[in-house]
Amino acid sequence: MQITLSPARRDTPLTLSRTGDALTINGEVFDFTPLPDGATLPREAIASDWFAGPVERVDGTLRLSLVLPHGANAPQETLFPAPLTLTGNGPVTLPPYAMETPDAD
């Protein structure tokens, strides 16, 4: 599974997990198992604001774009994220929502 991340300022962080051809996004499951090779599911056909584009299967690999929310003080790795290639199941590590700020003493 290949995921392109599209940064956007939002107040809700993203949690993501993969199980086969299914993604769980903030607790909601999106199962793309039925999508045949060479097919494209338009963004408008997906009932979620987390998708930034269509979902397609190319040579057996799912390719999709997701919105990557970030806070006001997001680090560079979040503002300019590298694409993700997922090969296993489980939680997906995403760039940080915001930079950690040291506690003022």
Whole-structure pTM value: 0.90
CB within 8 A of 51, min separation 6: which ones? 43, 64, 65, 66, 67
CB-count exposure of residue 51 (10 Å: 0-12, 13-18, 19+): buried
Sequence ranges of the domains in the chain: 2-87
Kindly indicate the confidence band of residue 99, based on its pLDDT and cuts at 50, 70 and 90.
confident
Give the pLDDT confidence score for residue 102 in this predicted structure: 57
Instruction: From 77, 68, 71, 80, select the one nearest 98 (Cα to Cα).
Output: 71
Distance between CA atoms of 19 and 86, rounded to whole angstroms? 10
Distance between CA atoms of 89 and 5, rounded to whole angstroms? 19
